């Protein structure tokens, strides 16, 4: 009888520990930075020669993905409406690596011709105070045109923003 | 020079003159050009097929019954490039991947060349937008010239002829602007 009681106590304790672990993990996560709105600057590629269509596709996809990820106010580069917004976060992106790849090679060989792009994302306040810096990459390995790498990057960058910033409409 | 030899000379030269004028006119696009708007144009879905032309100082894209305009003076940069796309279309192309003995992969080898036109422009609030179009070979440069003539700005003065074929370039080869 005692053995059964012991076993049931152990089982319940271990269940409690397992159930509580995600809650503890959440407590350990760093607090999200308050961001009422985000402004996306045009992608810079001074060191790496990036085709204009990639630059524009990166920028447009990034804005679209940030809007999808719950940022209620996403301002474009140079938007005058963003000047007086409180808790504004500015996203500066600089291309650090680019491999054009080949859609034909991808489809014919499957293993070669991947397109990849690495972008350094820096989130700052309008005064230039840095809040967060990350290198985010975008890839297309099997299907799709080369520009699909820009979509992959945008999704990952928006995810980084979602993880680290709290927008009023998203909480 | 006798009248007869003059006539012979004219008969010989005339066909070549015709050839020269036709090749010169090949770059001119009188009307709207068939184009695909890949992304970026406000109010137009991605990959929308339509026609593109420059008239009255505006870049005019017509897609079905809808149309979208960008004022030439608001354009900060126009860049043309070259690319390629699969000759065998989307659905058929995907289905063909299941074909036996690598038949689908064989079809992937066939690609047609296209031009790309990338424009960066500002809206009324100063916000920067970018739009990408693809169109038949030889038409992007003409549209670019029309846009520049009507007040658009460009950073790339000398255009590449066929260098940056992004999809058909061998791997590891970086595109040139």
**Taking the domains of chain A in order of start, what are their residue ranges?**
1-30, 33-166
Segment B70-91 mean pLDDT: 82
* Interface of chain A toward chain B, CB-CB under 8 angstroms: 42, 49-57, 59-61, 75-81, 98-105, 107-108, 112-114, 145-147
Q: Of residues B158 and A115, which shows the higher confidence score? A: A115
pLDDT band at B83 (very low <50, low <70, confident <90, very high): confident
Task: Report the relative pairing of strands A115-124 and A130-140 from DSSP bridges.
Answer: antiparallel
pLDDT tens readout for residues B112-130: 788 999 999 999 999 999 9
Q: What is the pLDDT of residue B170?
A: 37
The rounded distance, in Å, linking the Cα atoms of A77 and A73 is 13
Query: Is a pLDDT exceeding 50 seen at residue B19?
Result: no
Contact between residue B133 and residue B37 where contact means Cβ atoms under 8 Å apart? yes
Residues of chain B positioned with their CB less than 8 A from the CB of A60: 39-40, 129-130
* Spans of chain A below 50 pLDDT: none
| Domains along chain B with CATH numbers | 32-149 (2.30.29.30)
For range B142-171, the mean pLDDT? 67
pLDDT digits (tens, 9 = 90+) for B70-79: 999 999 999 9
Q: Are B167 and A112 a contacting pair at CB < 8 A?
A: no
Give the pLDDT of residue A40.
96
Q: Is the pLDDT of residue B2 over 70?
A: no
B141-149: average pLDDT: 93
CA of A165 vs chain B CAs: smallest distance (Å)? 23
- Residues A125, A88 contacting (CB under 8 angstroms): yes
The CATH topology of domain A33-166 is: Rossmann fold (3.40.50)
Of A57, A79, A104, the CB nearest to B111: A104
pTM: 0.75
**pLDDT in the model for residue B86:** 66
């Amino acid at each position: 009888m005692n053995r059964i009681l012991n076993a049931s106590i152990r089982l319940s304790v271990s269940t409690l520990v397992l159930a509580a672990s995600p809650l503890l993990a959440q407590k350990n996560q760093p607090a999200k930075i308050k961001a009422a709105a985000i402004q996306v600057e045009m992608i810079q590629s001074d060191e790496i020669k990036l085709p204009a269509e990639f630059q524009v596709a990166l920028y447009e996809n990034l804005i679209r993905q940030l809007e999808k990820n719950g940022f209620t106010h996403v301002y474009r580069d140079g938007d005058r409406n963003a000047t007086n917004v409180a808790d504004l976060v500015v996203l500066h992106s600089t291309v650090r690596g680019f491999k054009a790849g080949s859609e034909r090679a991808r489809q014919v060989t499957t293993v070669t011709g991947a397109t990849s792009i690495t972008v350094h994302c820096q989130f700052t306040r309008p005064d230039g105070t840095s809040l967060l810096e990350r290198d985010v990459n975008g890839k297309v390995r099997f299907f799709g045109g080369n520009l699909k790498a820009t979509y992959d990057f945008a999704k990952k960058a928006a995810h980084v923003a979602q993880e680290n910033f709290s927008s009023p409409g998203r909480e | 020079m006798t009248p007869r030899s003059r006539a012979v000379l004219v008969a010989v030269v005339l066909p070549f003159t015709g050839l020269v004028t036709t090749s010169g006119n090949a770059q001119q696009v009188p009307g709207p050009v068939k184009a695909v708007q890949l992304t970026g144009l406000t109010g137009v879905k991605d990959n929308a097929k339509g026609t593109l032309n420059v008239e009255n100082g505006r870049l005019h894209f017509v897609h079905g019954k809808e149309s979208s305009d960008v004022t030439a003076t608001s354009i900060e940069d126009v860049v043309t490039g070259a690319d390629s796309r699969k000759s065998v279309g989307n659905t058929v192309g995907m289905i063909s991947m299941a074909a036996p003995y690598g038949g689908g992969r064989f079809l992937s080898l066939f690609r047609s060349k296209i031009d790309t036109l990338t424009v960066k422009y500002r809206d009324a609030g100063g916000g920067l937008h970018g739009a990408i179009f693809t169109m038949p070979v030889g038409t992007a440069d003409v549209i670019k010239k029309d846009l520049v003539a009507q007040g658009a700005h460009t950073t790339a003065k000398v255009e590449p002829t066929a260098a940056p074929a992004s999809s058909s370039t061998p791997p590891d080869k970086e595109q040139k602007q």
